Amino acid sequence: MDITPPPLPERPAPTTVPKKPTHLYLLAGLAVLLLLVLVALLIPRSNGVANSSATATPLPTASTEATATPTATPATGSAAALDQSLQSLDASLSKVDSSTQSANNAPADTDTAP
């Protein structure tokens, strides 16, 4: 009588739980962050390159700055410019008065022979 015990079922190979590579996650995160920073830094530069390859944008001139919508803080000299306009107005009105007076006070145009 064969009393050899039946072969034991093959024990499954012990499953090895892989160790979590936390350092890899950290590295990947840092890489993404670095990439974002690089992208953020490169966007304005790439725009500038694109503009420079096309027609160069002229620098704002004094005239274009002057016609710009006034900002919250009016430019220095605004009050002086207004005062100057009022002075010009006064000068013109003074001319009106002077000529009107001359017209109204014209001497008599009659024969005054001695």
Partner 1 sequence: MNTSFRISLRFTAALALSTLLSTPLALAASPIPTPNAAARLTAVQTKGDADINARLTSLNTLISKLGETKKLTTDQQTALTTEMQGEVTSLTALKTKLDADTDLATARADFATIFSAHYIYAFYLPRVERIVAADAELDSVTTLGTLATTLQSYIDQAQTAGNDVTALQAKLNEMKSKTTDAETLAQTALDSLRPLTASGYPANKTTIQTAGTTLKTGRIDLETARSDAKSLVASLKLLLKLQ
In the complex, which residues of this chain contact partner 1 (CB under 8 A)? 69-70, 72, 74, 76-79, 81-83, 85-86, 88-90, 92-93, 95-97, 99-100, 102-104, 106-114
Of 61 and 102, which has the nearer Cβ to partner 1? 102
Of 6 and 70, which has the nearer Cβ to partner 1? 70
How close are the terminal C-alpha atoms of the chain, in Å? 182
CB of 94 to partner 1, least distance (A): 8
CA distances (Å), origin 66, targets 59, 70, 88: 14, 9, 21
CB of 63 to partner 1, least distance (A): 16
CB of 65 to partner 1, least distance (A): 15
CB of 95 to partner 1, least distance (A): 4
Is the CB of residue 78 less than 8 Å from the CB of residue 72? no
Of 4 and 102, which has the nearer Cβ to partner 1? 102
Burial label, 8 (beta-carbon count in 10 A; 0-12, 13-18, 19+)? exposed
Nearest to 94 by CA among 86, 82, 83: 86
